Structure 1
């Protein structure tokens, strides 16, 4: 009975083969669906993680306002976002070429970095010219990538995305060598979104930088105007160069004017590295940026290295920008800004700054020169008044006194000899006064007066190093007009000579004699130190003095004095070389 009942149950629950197969297929389908949903959930979580990374990168990019920091942060954020080994942000010049390139990344297995120069590769330029991203799985298969990146053959994948704001392309993001394969479509979309945020950040940073630039420019121009229009301002162009050096980073700032000879340029004023060596340097105008800026009236720039040669040696620089300096409607020279060799050239904003500064500084220079001319005219008028008073009063009284003494000598012959001696002294005094009157009235304002002031300034500056104030004498024709470049050399010779005395002589007293004559200039510096034989590095310390003399066909000698000390003599003539 029980046996029959079990058999009946088995028969009831036994399924046909077709229905069992359908059930197995349904279970398998459910398993595949669950696996697919699980994978989609994992992808969603990964995508959410990438989106969070994008959000973090966008916050990081927008968290700074200083342009250089913003640019570097954009490059670093994009590199991290897509797990790339190398990243770069190229900033575009208005004409379309890559002006600046900010790079980030780690060394590859061959030790190379993605070292590339702005505007040197077709692939980078292609991103600028395209209307969308460029994504490559293998750089070697694209003809535009020839030579990119230099010295690093391990890089394969590449992703380039333009950075835009309000339809204008500001730059490009370049990413290379994704760590876990080629760049994906999602990588491209994420970088495109980051590029939009980066465009806004760059635009804001540029606006902030422009505001700061205008503030610095206004402050510098205000200082220039106040300095040049003050009562004690004389070296106008030196004031201009010093303010430019404070306005933007530069190795040397110089004002270059047409030289003493035809087709020559001369460094009139300078501020920065080796500025003392540069001032007074004369070089050919042909091919020079300063000459081109003066002739064309436009800004001239060069990214290559430059070198100028002076009597003290050569001076090397990197990128140079020259801006015409216009005073009273005439380009009197060029304002030049140089940076160190291998350094970056001036940016578009910096060129705008120096151009605006040159325009406004030209007006200030014109006003300063007009003020100096007015002061000189006042001095001339004052000298004329003094000369009239000397002639009409002092000379007449001395002349009357001389006549009285001659009458007294005639009346008392026993004292005639002594009286005649005094009479001759009075005649000599009258002659000296007349010479002074003639000099004051007829001599034009010249650089000779300025030379005396500059010589005295140098002596005052170096007196603490000498131990005791030196004795100074100007002889010959102190009001004689001499060329400005010769006046610069006179000041430089005295500075170098006193520096040598301070460094090597151990002297207690120093005497300086400056003689201006019809034939030339003579400078003598005497000291009572330990003598020429005991001085160290004498050849290098006095070589500049000899070269400066040779420029004019002159001589320089350094010889011992008796009983002790040294005499340095520098003599040049007003020959053809001096005139040139």
Structure 2
């Protein structure tokens, strides 16, 4: 003990001298006892060894328990609003934690700790005026020590310790845990930086995969690729791309991937207030506990956490990217929200590149069609016309063969009419919303996954009769039917026929695959097709063909009310 440890006898009172003796004794004990400085240095070293944030938080609690001989410990992480966001308990068996259920809501004594900027030490926490008791299955706890953790002047969370093995928590214990909390703040900061670097690396790899997939010459399912990569990036059970360019007040699910994807693929979303509709309006969001209020997910059995962020392509907001985890998995965190937002922003640029590629390919196809149309007009039609004139002249000179020759001339005239119709189709300007081209786009997109491109037959005034909501349903029906063929039929050839009359629309998709099983399993996709038909007062049938394979037939009568 040095002289400087005490005030001079001339100025010190008896009480001051006594307090100085106690402080000096505490300092000496802190430096020499195993639970003092050496134990603190060892605990601090253990805490700073980890880089994963979850491991760091758990090691902080474990070190604090060892440091002050506590039975139980926990760390609570606060959200920006000051509410308990995460709670990591240590010391309780896993089955007990599971029986207790949800983590504490941050009320009672925990709320007292959260309100203070200094440690809270209680000999009996159950006797505190704001104590609210324990839930069922919770172990008994008496002595209590709560210490705040601050990072960069901001309140990060609190360290909680209970049931000291030898009596109540002391002032020395408070000093030790406060010092550990200071070391822990550095470890948490490092873990956060590491976590951010890891997330950035994962986003970069995912965007690279998206870009590579979208730039493949055979890949046209742009949003399907995006949804698949988002699922891999976030370990989500379901991902989906919702486009806001649909007519009316509903957004259209353009792509879905994962669990129950077929239940929402091609469906529409009413614009009720939800994290997804807010993302469509440009506001990213996160639900951490329960997604059952999401209109898109209601009744789908996914009651976990959901993230939704805006999807911007070429500077224009086109929709939203949503990812959902089931309740059996850990909920998304604000860090996950930032990762998904970064991914969507970078993937939007990849989508723009892919759309530019597809546009360039369409221009090449258009140029090739125009060349083919010119060749048909300048060469094929002229030759057929000349041949017809020659046959007519021959019929005049050989009357006995006139009838037969006239039949051939009529056949040539019919061929010329068909070729002129083909020329018109090849050279006609393509309206962006023309029904026939939306149908062809859907067939082309799904046809990439078949051994051979489907044969398409469009009969009747397709663009005139299939408009409004009906075209959305027809395109969705073709997508779903072809998707079923890809997944289940193992077919070599597929035919798609759309017939439009003044009274009804019929869509038929036939294949030469394995046919319809005797006891087909329940399919949400088939149910969707039936529901779409019923909404128009129509029918849907899936039947085996006698020659092998199956045929899906979707029929809907036309009415002015439904076709608006």
TM-score, normalised with respect to structure 1:
0.79
Does 1:305 pair with 2:293?
no
Structure 2 match to 1:88:
74
Indicate if the aligned counterparts of 1:311 and 1:548 stay in contact, CA closer than 8 A.
Answer: no
Matches within 5 A, 1:387-406: 387-406=373-392
Deviation digits for residues 168-202 of structure 1, max 9, x if unmatched?
Answer: 33221111222333222222122112112211111
**1:155-554 equivalent positions in 2, closer than 5 A:** 155-258=141-244, 260-295=246-281, 297-307=282-292, 314-341=300-327, 343-442=329-428, 444=430, 446-457=437-448, 459-460=450-451, 473-477=455-459, 480=462, 483-496=471-484, 513-519=495-501, 520-523=505-508, 525=510, 534-535=518-519, 537=521, 543-554=527-538
Q: Secondary structure at the match of 2:300?
A: strand
Distance 1:350 1:179, change over 3 A: same
Q: For residues 198 and 298 of structure 2, what CA distance do their matches in structure 1 show?
A: 39
Q: Residues 286 and 337 of structure 2 are in contact (CA less than 8 Å); yes or no, is this contact kept in structure 1?
A: no
* Correspondences of 1:19-98 after superposition (within 5 Å): 47-49=33-35, 51-98=37-84
| Residue aligned with 2:178, SS | helix
- Which whole-Å CA distance do the structure 1 matches of 2:212 and 2:49 have between them? 39
Secondary structure at 2:411 match in 1: helix
Query: What is the CA–CA distance in structure 1 between the aligned matches of 2:95 and 2:383, rounded to whole Å?
Result: 99
- Per-residue deviation, 1:102: 1.4
Distance 1:275 1:172, change over 3 A: same
Tell me if the contact between 1:458 and 1:491 (Cα under 8 Å) persists in the aligned partners.
no
Q: How much has 1:403 moved relative to structure 2?
A: 0.6
State the match for 1:131 in structure 2.
117
* Residue 48 of structure 1: how far off its partner (Å): 2.0
Aligned pair in 2 of structure 1 residues 77, 116: CA closer, same or farther (>3 Å)?
farther
Deviations 1:121-166 (A, max 9, x none): 2433433332211111111232333245665372122111112344
Aligned 8 A contact 1:500 1:541 in 2: no
Choose between structure 1 and 2: higher helix proportion.
1
Q: For residues 361 and 287 of structure 1, do their structure 2 counterparts lie closer, same or farther at Cα, with a shift above 3 Å needed?
A: same
Distance 2:386 2:83 in 1: 86
Contact 2:275 2:284 in 1 (8 A): no
**Distance in 2 of aligned mates of 1:262 and 1:345:** 33
After superposition, the Cα gap between the structure-2 partners of 1:458 and 1:251, relative to the gap in structure 1 and judged at 3 Å, is same
Correspondence for 1:12: none
For residue 410 of structure 1, report the CA deviation from its aligned partner: 0.6
- In structure 2, relative to structure 1, the CA distance for the partners of 1:148 and 1:51 (3 Å cut) is farther
Structure 1 range deviating more: 421-430 or 85-94 = 85-94
SS at match of 2:106: coil
RMSD of the alignment, in Å?
A: 3.8
Comparing 103-112 with 191-200, greater Cα deviation is found at: 103-112
SS in 2 for 1:317: coil
Task: Report SS of the residue matched to 1:306.
Answer: coil
In structure 2, stretches of 5+ residues that fail to align are 1-24
CA deviations 1:89-113 (Å, max 9, x no partner) are 1223334333222111225999997
Q: Tell me what 2:541 maps to.
A: 557
Give me the whole-angstrom Cα distance separating, in 2, the residues matched to 1:312 and 1:198: 42
Q: Is the 8 A contact 1:112 1:152 kept in 2?
A: no
Mark the runs of 5 or more structure 1 residues left unpaired by the alignment. Answer: 1-38, 461-468, 503-508
Preserved contact between residue 448 and residue 480 of structure 1 (Cα < 8 Å): no
Distance 2:391 2:91 in 1: 99
* CA gap 1:153/1:333 in 2 versus in 1, 3 angstroms: same
SS of 1:144's equivalent in the other structure is coil
